[in-house]
Structure formats: structure tokens, C-alpha cells
Amino acid sequence: MVAAATPSSSSTSHPDGMPPKTVLVVDDEERLVALLDSYLTQQGFRVVTASNGVEALDVARRERPDLIVLDWMMPGLDGLGFLTEHRQESETPIIVLTARVDDDDKVVGLELGADDYVTKPFRPRELLARIRAVLRRRGESDPPSMVFQHGDLMLDREGHRVNVQGRPVDLTPSEFELLAALLSAPGRVFSRLDLLDRVQGTAYEGYQRTIDYHVKNLRAKLGDPPHAPRYIETVYGVGYRLMAG
């Protein structure tokens, strides 16, 4: 296997004068990596690549990408192993590529911090839409000192921090956006479709169960058991809301 852990040799100017966003593509299929490298470079991204999880960890630490496109099934350290290790170091948004459509695989990935899924085979334009949606969420600006305080729960948008009872809590970008949406309107019921649009930036896929997985992870990190919630309440048949009390 030829290692591909170097930035693309192609260069592209960015229309707004800002440096291009860096995308790390991790896959052991050389043809797919070459295709995505060429396509994303043409779309204005800086692309770095890796062919396995071990190599990807090294590239991610060195290049600090803005987003990672990660294949699930690779020899050696696979996508699951990479996700487990990388989430201990960084909250970089991750889009998983998988040829497996089993919901259990998606649950595991989401529980470990994946932000979105694209099932193989896929069209490059579909992946591009997902990448832009995730980066748009991360790049959206808010007024200075956008801080939500709800009882002993605090979310600071500007500092991208969450505290519960004074204890810092590490959230993935999707979990952070989900909590921010709920905190923006305590007592309001958000449908799964509403929250999917907030978290993914687009609701066209219609995979609304993604929200249930993110809520499950968020509750666990906040110490908020679903049978006796203090923060996030399930409104059966509708969606979720932040308890107003």
C-alpha cells in the first residue's frame, strides 16, 4: 500500500482570500482517495490523506484538519479504532464512510463521536454537501459572549465550552450544537427534524434517528438519566425539549 500522508500537490485560490479549509481523507482504497483528493481540491479545499488509522492519527496531529472523512473498514487500526483514539485528543468533525448499512454500526459510531454518515457507494456531490454543512455549522459566528445559563448548566458559544455543576464537559460538535439549540428556547419542543437541521445543517437525508443517538450521548455526558431527567426531556412522538424548570 502506497502511503498518502502528504498534502495534495494541487493548489487553489480561495475566493474570499481566506486560507482553504483542510480535509483529511482516510481510506485504504487508493482510487477513492485519489478521486476525493482531486474533487475536493477542485472545490477549493486543501486535502491531506492517509491509508489507515495509525497513519491518520499522525497526519491529524500534524496537519490539524478542519474536518475528517473517515472510512469505517480498514486494515490495522480501522475507523472505529481511529475514532476512539482521536476523540480523546480532538473534537474535529468527522464524517464516516461505510459500506455497511447496519444500524448497530451507526449507533456505535455516533456514540463514539461521529458527526455524520455517508453510505458507499455515494456521489462526490453528496459528500461535498455534507462537508460544507458541517463546516458551516462550525464556522457560524455568534454575538460576543453568547452564553446560555440554565440552572447549573452553562454553554459558552464563543469559547465552545460546556460546564455542568462547574465541571467541564467535552462534547462533539454535533452534541454541542444540539445542546445549544435546546438551550436557546427552554420549554420549547424541538422535533427530530428541527434538531437534525440544526445539527447537520440539512435535513434532506431524513435519517432522524441520528438525533436519538446524539441525545443519548449528550445525556450520558451531562449525567442526565432519561428516566429522571433534569435537563433534556423526551416528548414522545414529537421530539425533545430542555426542561423549563
What is the tens place of the pLDDT at every residue in 12-53? 444 445 678 899 999 999 999 999 999 999 888 999 999 999
Q: What is the mean pLDDT of residues 180-201?
A: 81
Element (H, E) at 217: helix 209-222
User: Worst-scoring range by mean pLDDT, 85-89, 142-146, 164-168, 182-186?
Assistant: 142-146
Is 75 a residue whose pLDDT tops 60? yes
pLDDT for 101 equals 59
CA distance 113 to 89: 12
The chain-wide mean pLDDT, for the chain, equals: 81
Rounded to 5 degrees, what angle do the CA atoms 184, 195, 200 make? 115
**Rounded distance between C-alpha atoms, residue 34 and residue 109, angstroms:** 25
As a CATH number, domain 22-139 is: 3.40.50.2300
Q: Do domains 22-139 and 147-242 have the same CATH topology?
A: no
Q: Grid coordinates representing 3? A: 502511503
Q: State pLDDT tens for residues 87-134.
A: 888 889 999 988 765 666 666 677 777 888 888 888 898 899 889 888
pLDDT higher than 50, residue 157: yes
User: Hey, which residues does 191 pair with through a beta bridge?
Assistant: 239
Confidence of residue 172 (pLDDT cuts 50, 70, 90): confident
What's the mean pLDDT in 163-182?
90
Model confidence at 74: pLDDT above 50: yes
Express as a percent the part of the chain with pLDDT over 70: 82
Q: How do the domains of the chain map onto residue ranges?
A: 22-139, 147-242
Query: Domain 147-242 belongs to what architecture?
Result: Orthogonal Bundle (1.10)
